[in-house]
Homo-oligomer: A and B are copies of this chain.
Amino acid sequence: MDFLSYFLMDFVSQLQSPTLGFLIGGMVIAALGSELQIPDAIYKFIVFMLLIKVGLSGGIAIRNANLAEMLLPALFAVVTGILIVFIGRYTLAKLPKVRVVDAIATAGLFGAVSGSTMAAALTVLEEQGIEYEAWAAALYPFMDIPALVTAIVVASIYLSKKRNAAEKYLSKEEYYGKQEYYGDQDYYGDQRITAGGYPREEGGTAGKRVRIWPIVKESLQGSALSALLLGLVLGLLTRPESVYESFYDPLFRGLLSILMLIMGMEAWSRLGELRKVAQWYAVYAVVGPLVHGFIAFALGMIAHYATGFSFGGVVILAVIACSSSDISGPPTLRAGIPSANPSAYIGASTAIGTPVAIGLGIPLYIGLAQALMGS
């Protein structure tokens, strides 16, 4: 009963949060035919601001962490973040009529981390008197950033494989147009339409393999990952705290609310795509987080026996794996996988994934840790 009431309370408060409020607001005004528009230059700048902030906070957290001691848990965090994307790629993306790019973006969001879910877990751990390493919260960026980077790269590779050799020389606009185009084909499941482009691809399988590194490089050079990694490196190597605390951090939530509005307006026009497959996203958003958390819990236990990683730390690792990003993820994926439908990944994460992580995940992993501590 407690689980359910936690879950429902969090579900309702998520609906009233500025994040989801502005998203729904954007959908409503789009539905009512409003002419409101946020200029494209502003949209691009907001995405830049959000991504460099996510990178900076990650870089600062890692720089201030005890790297030697946290080596194994950090490695497991990276592994979990990447693994979650591949799990989504080979489960959700294989379900009938689910668009592959939407599934990859959703998996990226579930691999990324929610700071507020982690903060909730830290509070409960302290209330229950379970000890954890001071640097455990700094595991956050080790899972968050690899998951988002992996999702963008996997999506690029997927989309690139769909393009035939000739399309390699298309302009940027045509390229993104193609992404959308293949995305829709994918959605309609009509494999015959894409067949026309395949023979040449299949004739050059060897060529396809060597093309993976250029795609990874291109993803990293794209404006989304450039900004994210630039922030990460600046956070690690310079002392940007003054400008981070006076500028990037305070503006973050406000700019995010505007981005949510923009994404809501766009989501409205693409909501139809979701109707036939919404139940798969709901299933994934309930089952996925709990499975991800158990994987991280198991890896954490290995670190527990190998290097004495605390039970509290194991719970934190499990909770960040269980959580899905409402904050850093959406802008990154919007910029990095422009053809994915935001209503798919944000809806699944914010409306279901986060309540599941807070209402079910946190008590579950803490109960499990307490059972193991007692034994």
Contact = CB atoms under 8 A, between A and B. Distances in A.
A237 B21 contact: yes
A247 B251 contact: yes
A255 B48 CA distance: 13
How many copies of this chain?
3
A294 B13 CA distance: 44
A119 to B, nearest CB: 14
Nearest to A18: B243
Interface stretch (A32-40, A142-150, A176-184): A32-40
Given A21-B238, A38-B45, A238-B21, A29 B226 contact: yes
A164 interface: no
Interface residues of A, number: 48
B16 A239 contact: yes
Interface string A24-62: 010011001111111111101100100000000000000
Contact of A238 (B18, B223, B254): B18
A94 interface: no
A155 to B, nearest CB: 16
B36 A223 contact: yes
Contact of A233 (B16, B25, B35, B253): B25
A152 to B, nearest CB: 13
Interface string A165-190: 00000000000000000000000000
A22 interface: yes
Given A39-B40, A42-B41, A253-B246, A21 B223 contact: no
A58 to B, nearest CB: 15
A15 B254 CA distance: 31
A35 B223 contact: yes
A35 B239 CA distance: 25
27 contacts: A17-B238, A18-B239, A21-B234, A21-B237, A25-B230, A28-B233, A32-B221, A33-B221, A35-B221, A36-B48, A38-B44, A38-B48, A39-B40, A39-B41, A39-B44, A39-B45, A41-B42, A42-B44, A230-B261, A240-B257, A243-B254, A246-B250, A246-B254, A247-B250, A247-B254, A248-B254, A251-B254
5 A-B pairs with least C-beta separation:
A247-B254, A21-B238, A39-B41, A34-B226, A36-B226
Given A28-B230, A34-B226, A247-B255, 9 more contacts: A21-B234, A22-B240, A35-B223, A36-B226, A38-B45, A242-B253, A243-B253, A246-B250, A248-B254
